[in-house]
Amino acid sequence: MFDFDGTLADTVEAARRIFNRLAPDFGARPVELEELSALRHLKLRGLLKTLGVKQRHVPILLQRGKTLLREEIPSLRPCPGVIEQLETLRSDSRHFGILTSNSVENVDLFLKRHGVREQFDFISSCRKLQGKAKYLKAIARTHSLDPRDMLYIGDEVRDVKASKKAGVPVVAVSWGFNSVQALRESKPDWIVEDAEALASLVAGARPRL
């Protein structure tokens, strides 16, 4: 299973622009382009505090952000090399899906635009930024799987934490939002630097880093 934002789709800059549009409505401050490198080291709670986002505003901010992102879908690019590796990744998997905090509609539009919707059995949307563990457990039940036989692929510390809580092995990718340093500190099962390394891992090599 894949995360979407920052793992399959390069949404970092689009998310920054959208956040800056919404920030004044929530008393938050805008994010400058040159700040992104430093922000990549922060966990979710630290990020929200740094940007001045109150916890109670997160659900509506997330919902409005997803709506605005739909306008950006035509200009979004896939993360480097991932689309090209999907067929190989799919061939080694009984079930192949996406679990995201984004909307099913946004993900579906993106996948269709890039001609890869048929690769995925399902798209599951998590309404809460920190609610993926519950969904991972539900997916395991739906497909009658032992969580240890599943694999989640994400780019953020919260993806790693959710996977560990659900008992699902997790691969952290280096090309998304959180930095490699932050990801290492969260102790994923594996970290990969590029899509080819991800394909090799799923095929069975699985070198631990």
Would you call 146 a catalytic residue per the annotation? no
* Active-site residue identified among 3, 5, 155, 159: 3
Q: Contact at 8 Å (CB) between 101 and 62?
A: yes
Which residue in 21, 29, 22 sits closest to 51, CA to CA? 29
Eight-class DSSP state of 196:
H
The H or E element that residue 125 is part of is: strand 122-125
DSSP 177: S
Best CA proximity match to 57, nearest among 33, 24, 31 = 24
Of 54, 80, 64, 59, which is closest to residue 20 (Cα–Cα)? 64
Residue 60, CB-side half-sphere exposure with 13 Å CA sphere:
9
* Catalytic residue numbers, as ranges: 3
